[in-house]
Chain A
Amino acid sequence: GESVGLHLPTLSVQEGDNSIINCAYSNSASDYFIWYKQESGKGPQFIIDIRSNMDKRQGQRVTVLLNKTVKHLSLQIAATQPGDSAVYFCAENTGGFKTIFGAGTRLFVKA
């Protein structure tokens, strides 16, 4: 498969545990934030998003937390499964064409 992010930060968790992936964003004017999941050899897939007027948003097994004071975003995955193994990207946007993507974090789930 495609090698994306050979030297990425890696998070290794046991199957069934919760995972927390962190992201520091760069622009205090960013008002829309997105988490994407990228499996090997595939394009990124949308997981969850949050706008700057919120601090927390929940999806199915995933929660995104936004701390605008310290420009920090996190993705929490509950009951992590082997299928969650992938590279996770955060992205920020100020409302225009420019979406800034983080370098990504590789999540490895141990069975």
Chain B
Amino acid sequence: DGGITQSPKYLFRKEGQNVTLSCEQNLNHDAMYWYRQDPGQGLRLIYYSQIVNDFQKGDIAEGYSVSREKKESFPLTVTSAQKNPTAFYLCASSHEQGKTEAFFGQGTRLTVV
């Protein structure tokens, strides 16, 4: 089945630790995105990537980092610099950036304890 897979579904982290969220897609999409979702708010863009080895900051990139070494993979690292990391993180991909719909993963719920 083609799709986009995020792991893990739930993640707990101690304050001061970095943590990496996985996102893999087998849809052959060029564009990939990371969003953050908080209760009562829409999705906010953290980072996006148009092609391999290229990525750009979104609206709320501070405290996050990404890599795009392979077309299929776009991992997100939440660093200790992120002041309020507890949130629901969504990865997405699309065939053509901004012109077609995005396909979303099932999300990762990150909780800082």
Residues of A at the B interface (CB closer than 8 Å) are: 2-8, 32, 34, 36, 41-46, 49, 89, 93-104
Contact = CB atoms under 8 A, between A and B. Distances in A.
Contact of A89 (B39, B42, B107): B42
B56 A43 contact: no
A6 B50 CA distance: 33
Interface of B: 6, 31, 35, 37, 39-43, 45, 48, 50, 56, 58, 88, 90, 92, 97-99, 101-107, 109
Nearest to B10: A2
Nearest to A4: B37
16 contacts: A2-B107, A4-B88, A5-B39, A6-B40, A32-B98, A32-B99, A34-B101, A43-B90, A43-B104, A43-B105, A44-B43, A46-B103, A98-B98, A103-B40, A103-B41, A103-B42
B39 A95 contact: no
